Amino acid sequence: MVPPSLRLRQVCEALGLTYRDAQSASLAIAFLRGQPDFILPISRLADIENRDVIPSIHKLYSLAAIYHLDPLQISGWYEAPLPQTVLDDARFPPPRTHLSDCVPHAVLPHSLEPSFDRERTRLLQGLSLNIEQFPNLELDATHRFRYGYIGLSDRRMSPILRPGSMVLVDTFLRRVDAAEWTTEYDRPL
């Protein structure tokens, strides 16, 4: 496996950039973002590319912008696979239902199979899914959780669950705990 420092150095050389060029570009990014954490001093660039120093999230952003790389790809080089956070998120369910801020990189289900009816609510297991279209979904990961699709014509749970939503269903929960809630947004699903 090629170390991330060597990969970054190779990209820098392929682009014909010097440390001074990268530092100047990072200064512009820091000025644009209004935060000095985006600055890549020459000494830090040398440490990142020659001494395997792991860049902070702000410096990783600057490197990705300057070297024209995907920041998620760079994070993978450092064995921090950020695109897989949705998978790990599903392994640690919260005690209460909530809307997730983490959106999987998924294609809408209209291209799953010719017979897929986007209007109808259904579980996604058992369909001939092309897992390439849903890289963050492990359809057979556990028996406890199943993935579902809320059909475009299904408005029963709107506005909490909007039509066209993908949901993770905990099959071990069969009833709603008796509790008092003030609005429908407080009620567990």
Task: Give percent of the chain above pLDDT 90.
Answer: 37
Minimal CA–CA distance to 120: which of 162, 153, 166, 158?
Answer: 153
Lowest mean pLDDT among 7-11, 64-68, 134-138: 134-138
For 15-163, list the strands marked E by DSSP. 122-123, 145-149
Rounded CA gap, 180 and 186, in Å? 9
CA angle 84, 148, 106 (to 5 degrees): 40
Give the phi and the psi of residue 169 in degrees, each rounded to 5: -105, 125
User: Considering the domain 4-77 in this protein, what is its CATH number?
Assistant: 1.10.260.40
Mean pLDDT to the nearest integer, 44-52: 92
Classified as helix, coil or strand, 123 is strand
Greater pLDDT, 69 or 86:
69
Q: What HEC string does 7-22 produce?
A: HHHHHHHHHCCCHHHH
Residue 98 structure tokens: 């909530």
Per residue in 95-117, pLDDT (tens digit) is 766 665 555 544 444 445 566 77
Exposure of 72 in the CB half-sphere (CA atoms within 13 A): 5
Q: In this predicted model, which residue has the larger pLDDT, 132 or 44?
A: 44
pLDDT tens digits, residue range 178-187? 777 777 777 6
Average pLDDT, the chain: 79
Asked whether the predicted pLDDT for residue 92 surpasses 90, the reply is no
Instruction: Map out the domains of the chain as residue ranges.
Output: 4-77, 84-189
**Does the structure show a pLDDT above 60 at 72?**
yes
